Copies of this chain bind each other. A is one copy, B any other.
Amino acid sequence: MDSRAVDTVRVLAADAVQKVGNGHPGTAMSLAPVAYLLFQKVMRHNPNDPHWAGRDRFVLSCGHSSITLYIQLFLGGFGLELEDLQSLRTWGSKTPGHPEYGHTAGVEITTGPLGQGIANAVGMAMASRRERGLLDPDAPQGESLFDHQIYCLASDGDIEEGISSEASSIAGTQRLGNLTLIYDNNKISIEDDTNIALTEDTAARYEAYGWHVQTVDWTNAETHYAENVRAVAEALDAARAVTDRPSFISLRTIIGWPAPTKQGTGKAHGSALGDDEVAATKKVLGFDPEKTFEVSEEVLAHTRALRERGQQEQDAWQQKLDAWAAANPEAHALYQRLEAQELTPGWEDALPTWDADAKGVATRAASGKILTAIAPKLPELWGGSADLAESNNTTPEGEPSFLPTDRQTKMFSGGPYGRVLHFGIREHAMGAILNGIKAHGGTRPYGGTFLTFSDYMRGAVRLSALMKLPVTYVWTHDSIGLGEDGPTHQPIEHLAALRAIPGLDVVRPADANETAAAWKTILEHKDRPAGLILTRQNLPIVPRGTDGYADTEGVARGAYVLKDFGSADAEQFVILIGTGSEVQYALGAAEKLADEGIAARVVSMPCREWFDEQDEGYRNSVIPPEIKARVSVEAGVSQGWRDVVGDAGRIISIEHYGASAAGALLFEKFGFSADTVAAAARESL
């Protein structure tokens, strides 16, 4: 019956892709036995409750083979039915071209952009260890309620993408024994035979990363093809038994097997097989070539028995959980809080405040103090940096690193359940690992690097936004103000380029107190990622709630009137809008203008996305539509600011690359000062 079920998978894959006319049938056909083995025999999960915290996780890194996953979700009874497979890749279906998190029950994470899934799985494996450490640190290995496995299926493309190299090296250092990666080594990608581009010994590469490596060859050294499923099952058993290293299983397959003419070709990878080939495949498998989407009742009854088995497993787990909860009321309260994604009540009382100070502090330094202050209140908050901990100020003081015992150093101690992450200089993997951590459970991850290197991680940041995952990117050294490192390190276009990403909040506080308000607002959001943009250099700390200056309540609204300068009945009125380090120039200009009899309003606009969400009344109260004289000032490209300042407004920006010199000098050379803002204001009037 299992064998018939596996062949049913192949037929469904061929039919589903053929029906819509495009898609990726090949991998789904050849990996049918593996996917079936995992979903029906190996993984612990319950189709009735795809969110069960005790479940094993499955990541389909080769997201283009989404039908591989959908068919298992259909057979196992996770909520997909035959008509869902029939509407593959069509408007409104539960079965889009690539698996989408939050859209289809049983899909653990959105995949498709290659390599991401491997890094997501690494993040899940890390999250699993951290969550266990928070809730049940003393249970023996493998005996905790919170011990489970992470399985990931990857293709040639995943292996080729650099992000997989980054993430896999981290996984080796982190000794992620709960992670198993199955590599479908079919030697075919879109450009057909991978000999033109992939000749490395991938298994040896994974050994070099410190993984436990096994090889299964269904081609039997290219002599004859036999799907030795038992060998895969044994390899999975062996992988599970190795708990001090992640496991890599290189499985040699023939893509599209057993399609008679297209197996082992690039054609089977990314296009429908064609009616004739589908029919011929059905004949090979003993199916009626005239029928489509043929699933026998026996097969479905057999595979849907998973619902009962899964329920029994979850029930047993729940009993244990109840016993554990009774014995560990504090840990259980934390567990419930994490599951609900609620922050510790009153946590925000721990947020520091700063007194007005002209010399000021860097917002990155303020952020570091904030993390140190709130870390004890929010154990779910954890993160680190891509080798720039001291520069990004991402380490809460005194907190332990997340490191296996033998990876600790003089500078960073901790343990396997620590909370300070060390990604090495691997920004892209960092982003995808944060996504994996967040998709796994209730913790709140963050990761830091220089803003300019947000370029290295956009692939992952976009997926945070697409999945609406509340991960926080800490991007410091946010402008030419970073100084001597010069143009390669100075962000110019990055604020605009990040704001362009739908669903990402780009938050650039103007001083230390705005930074605290920014962290507060970011952590209160559960449904979106944010990029927190911080300075290397000191920024003056603005007085608050005195002398006409507003407090920081307005930060959460994205923009607010920081201070109105000059007489209310002045004949001329101008609005000066700044973000981050340039708000100080707006303030300086406003004073000058007021001295000239021009009323000037300074608007601090730390987050344009938050401001755009406010109602029109509030927005108009901050920037009255009838006041056309407006100036924006931000040390980045002007792109996008015309919407704010209008045709009559002036934009103070930088449209070219920076230079290597002291930051203060660069601001002066490139036209950022109270004088230039004041001059632009006069022009705008």
Residues of A with Cβ closer than 8 Å to B? 20, 22-23, 63-64, 89-93, 96-98, 100, 110-115, 156-157, 160-166, 169-170, 172-173, 189-202, 204-205, 207-210, 266, 385, 387-391, 401, 403, 407-412, 422-426, 428-429, 452-453, 455-456, 458-459, 462-463, 466, 483-489, 492-494, 496-497, 499-503, 637-640, 642-643, 646-647, 655-657, 659-662, 665-666, 669
Q: Decide: A390 and B657 in contact? CB cutoff 8 A.
A: no
Complex Cα distance, B170 from A383, in Å, reads 33
Q: Decide: A89 and B486 in contact? CB cutoff 8 A.
A: yes
> Which residue from B189, B385, B488 sits with its C-beta under 8 Å from A191?
B385
Closest B residue to A202 by CB, please name it. B208
For the complex of A and B, the 3 pairs showing the least CB-CB separation, nearest first, are: A162-B162, A197-B424, A96-B660
> Which B residues lie within 8 Å of A160 (CB)?
166, 169, 387, 424-426
24 A–B contacts, CB within 8 A, in A order: A20-B484, A64-B485, A90-B660, A91-B669, A92-B661, A93-B660, A97-B488, A98-B486, A111-B488, A113-B455, A113-B489, A157-B424, A162-B164, A162-B165, A162-B426, A191-B388, A191-B390, A193-B411, A194-B424, A197-B422, A197-B423, A198-B424, A493-B501, A502-B655
Closest B residue to A190 by CB, please name it. B387
> Which B residues lie within 8 Å of A425 (CB)?
114-115, 156-157, 160-161, 189
> Which B residues lie within 8 Å of A209 (CB)?
200, 205
Q: Decide: A199 and B208 in contact? CB cutoff 8 A.
A: no
Q: Decide: B657 and A502 in contact? CB cutoff 8 A.
A: yes
Q: Decide: B502 and A496 in contact? CB cutoff 8 A.
A: no
Complex Cα distance, B161 from A85, in Å, reads 39
Q: Decide: B22 and A484 in contact? CB cutoff 8 A.
A: yes
**Given A91-B662, A456-B459: 5 more A-B contacts, CB < 8 Å:** A63-B488, A162-B428, A193-B412, A205-B208, A639-B640
Q: Decide: B199 and A407 in contact? CB cutoff 8 A.
A: yes
> Which residue from B113, B164, B210 sits with its C-beta under 8 Å from A199?
B210
> Which B residues lie within 8 Å of A403 (CB)?
196
Q: Name the residue in A64, A91, A391, A483 with the highest tally of chain B Cβ atoms < 10 Å from its Cβ.
A: A91
Closest B residue to A490 by CB, please name it. B97
Q: Decide: B98 and A485 in contact? CB cutoff 8 A.
A: yes
Complex Cα distance, B115 from A402, in Å, reads 26
> Which residue from B390, B452, B459 sits with its C-beta under 8 Å from A190?
B390
> Which B residues lie within 8 Å of A484 (CB)?
20, 22-23, 89-90, 97
Q: Decide: A639 and B196 in contact? CB cutoff 8 A.
A: no
> Which B residues lie within 8 Å of A660 (CB)?
89-91, 93, 96-98
Complex Cα distance, B462 from A161, in Å, reads 19
Q: Name the residue in A160, A494, A669 with the highest tally of chain B Cβ atoms < 10 Å from its Cβ.
A: A160
> Which B residues lie within 8 Å of A462 (CB)?
455, 493
Q: Decide: A208 and B198 in contact? CB cutoff 8 A.
A: no
> Which B residues lie within 8 Å of A428 (CB)?
162, 456
> Which residue from B110, B162, B173, B639 sits with its C-beta under 8 Å from A499?
B639
Q: Decide: A192 and B656 in contact? CB cutoff 8 A.
A: no
Complex Cα distance, B110 from A341, in Å, reads 45
Q: Decide: B401 and A196 in contact? CB cutoff 8 A.
A: yes
* Whole-angstrom distance between the Cβ of A590 and the nearest chain B Cβ: 24
The answer to whether residues A196 and B422 also contact, given A166-B162, A208-B205 and a CB cut-off of 8 A, is yes
Q: Decide: A208 and B201 in contact? CB cutoff 8 A.
A: yes
* Whole-angstrom distance between the Cβ of A461 and the nearest chain B Cβ: 8
Closest B residue to A198 by CB, please name it. B424
Complex Cα distance, B22 from A92, in Å, reads 56
Q: Name the residue in A202, A208, A385, A660 with the highest tally of chain B Cβ atoms < 10 Å from its Cβ.
A: A660
Q: Decide: B486 and A493 in contact? CB cutoff 8 A.
A: no
> Which B residues lie within 8 Å of A210 (CB)?
199-201
* Whole-angstrom distance between the Cβ of A311 and the nearest chain B Cβ: 31
